[in-house]
A and B are shown apart, each in its own frame.
Chain A
C-alpha cells in the first residue's frame, strides 16, 4: 500500500476509533477496580434485579469491577452501543444477538438472565378470547410488532390471521381505554401494573408459539472479550451471585430500582419479581448456574430464525463465538482486567 494511503487509513481509523469508543469504558478507579458500563435495554425493573442486587451487595467491587448501570428505554440501541464499543456490556435478546452478528457485528453472550421469552399478549379478562388460537382467529386489534418471530410463527401455526396489527407503544392508556385491544407485554410487568390498578387481564405467553429464546442476555463484543477475559469472567460471577441473592430476597434491590423508575411501584416490583422466577430459574440453571446457556438452545433459536427467514445460516461455532461463559465457581482472586 502506498505510504500516503497508509497514513490516511491510520488517521481515519484513529478518528473512527475515537468517535466510536470516545464515551465509554476503560480506566480504573483509585482502588484499582476496572470501570465498565452496562447498557440496559429497558428502565430499571425486576428484569435487572440481579444487577442492582450485585451492586447493593458489593459483588461487583469484590471481583474488581466498578460498574455503571445505564438505564435503557424504548428504542435504545443497546446491541449497537456494545458492538461499536461505546459500552463494554449490554443487555439484548437472543434473536437480536444473532441478527446483528449476521449484519457484521460480533457480539458474544455471556449471561442469559431469562431462560425463555417473557413476552406475552394480554387481553382484558372481559374479552371473549380465552386462548391464543381464539385471539388469532378474531379480527381484534393487536398492539404488537407484527414482524416479531413469535408472531410470524403463530401466523404459520394458525394459517394466517385476521388480526389488525398496530405499533407497540409503551404506555397502557390505549389498552385501558379499549376493551377489545390486545397488547404485547411482559408476563410479569404490564399485567401486574394493571392488576394493581384493578384492571384484570388474561395473559397468553408468546412461548406457547414454540419460539422461546434466551432473553435479557448480557453481551459483550468479541474484541472486548478477547482483550479483557478477566473482566468478563468477573462480570458473570458477580451477576450469578447478584441473581442468587435477588431470588432469595428481592426487597432491597426492588426498593433501589423503584427510586429510579417511579412509574413501577414497589408493590408491582415485588409481585413481578415473584412472577418472573420461573424464567430465571429452571432445570438447566439449577444444574449449572443462573444465566447458564447451552449450544442446543442457541442452535434451536438459530434454526427457528432461519425457518422464519430472520437469519440466513446457523453460526458455525456456537460455544465460544455466539456465547461464552466461565465454569461454575472458579477461583476468584482479583481477576478483573
Chain B
C-alpha cells in the first residue's frame, strides 16, 4: 500500500466523523429551528469565534499555559507518588485511598478554598489543573510498577542490585508504557481542571483565560461565543494530548508494541 494511501486511511475516519457530526448539528438546528441562545449553528459559532478572535486567542494561550503547567506538576508529582507507593504494599495500602480522594473530590467545590489558600491568579488555576490530572498518573505509574515480569525481578535480585538501580533500570522502564497512558489521560483532564479553576480563581480582563470568557459569554447569553471558547479549550486539550502522544511514541517506538505501526 502506498504511503499516501496509508496516511489517508489514518486521517480520513476522524475527518469524516467530525464532518458528519457538524452536518448533523447543523441539520438539528435547521430542522428544529433551535434558537441561537439554546444551540447556535456551527457557522454561527465560527462567526462568533472569528469576531472575538483576539479575546479567544489570548484566552487559549492563557489556558494552555495553566493547563500545561498543571499537567507538568501532575506528571512529576504523580510519577513520584506512584513510584514511592510501588516500593511497598504497606505504603500503597496506607496512601492509595488518600490519592483516590483527589479523584473523588468535586473540583468545583474545592476551587474556592484553593483561592483562600493560594489567592487569586495563575497558581490557583495550575493547582486546580494538577489536582484533577494527578490521579491517573499515580494510578498508572503504580500499575506499571506492579506489573513487572517476576523473572526480571529475580535477575536483579541475583545481581544484588540496589533499590535505586532496581528502580532506574527495571521498574521505571517497565512502567513507562503505563505512565504514558496515564499522562495521555492527564493531558485532557488538566485542561478541564484549568477551566474549572479559571471559573473561580482567574483574573478577568482583555487577556482573560477561556474559563472567564465562558462565564462572561454565558451571562450575556452569547451561546455562540461560549461554544467557540469551549471548542478552543478542546483544541488546547487535543494539542496537549498530541504532544504527550508524540513524546510517548518517541520514548516507546524502538521497543514497545503499542508504539509500532498500527495494523491495517
Question: Could you tell me which A residues sit within 8 Å of B by CB distance?
Answer: 8-9, 12-13, 15-16, 75, 79-80, 83-84, 96, 99-100, 103-105, 141, 143, 145-148, 164-167, 169, 171, 173-174, 177-178, 310
Contacts and interface: CB of A to CB of B under 8 A. Distances in A.
Nearest to A77: B218
Given A16-B32, A173-B112, A173-B113, A146 B205 contact: yes
Given A12-B31, A103-B35, A166-B203, A147 B218 contact: no
Interface of B: 31-32, 34-38, 111-113, 115-116, 119-121, 198-205, 208, 211-212, 215-216, 218-223
Contacts of B223: 103
Give 4 nearest A-B pairs by CB, closest first.
Answer: A165-B204, A146-B204, A104-B35, A103-B37
Contacts of B212: 167
Contacts, number: 85
Nearest to A147: B216
Give the dominant DSSP class at A's interface: mixed
Contact of A100 (B32, B37, B205): B37
Contacts of B211: 167
B112 A9 contact: no
Given A80-B38, A84-B38, A104-B35, A75 B218 contact: yes
12 contacts: A75-B218, A80-B37, A83-B37, A100-B221, A103-B222, A146-B205, A164-B205, A165-B204, A166-B202, A166-B203, A167-B200, A178-B119
A145 B219 contact: yes
A107 to B, nearest CB: 10
Contact of A173 (B116, B202, B218): B116
A16 B113 CA distance: 41
Given A103-B37, A148-B219, A169-B112, 8 more contacts: A80-B38, A80-B221, A99-B221, A105-B221, A165-B205, A167-B201, A167-B202, A174-B120
Contact of A13 (B32, B111, B203, B219): B32
Contacts of A9: 31
A167 B35 contact: no
A177 B115 CA distance: 10
A103 B221 contact: yes
Nearest to B40: A103
Contact of A83 (B35, B202, B204): B35
A16 B3 CA distance: 47
B220 to A, nearest CB: 6
A175 to B, nearest CB: 10
A265 B35 CA distance: 41
A177 B116 contact: yes
Contacts of B219: 145, 147-148
Contacts of B119: 178
A145 B215 CA distance: 9
A310 B116 CA distance: 33
A20 B237 CA distance: 32
Contacts of A165: 203-205
B120 A141 contact: yes
A61 B86 CA distance: 66
Nearest to A161: B205
A166 B31 CA distance: 40
Given A80-B38, A147-B219, A173-B112, A167 B204 contact: yes
A145 B216 contact: yes
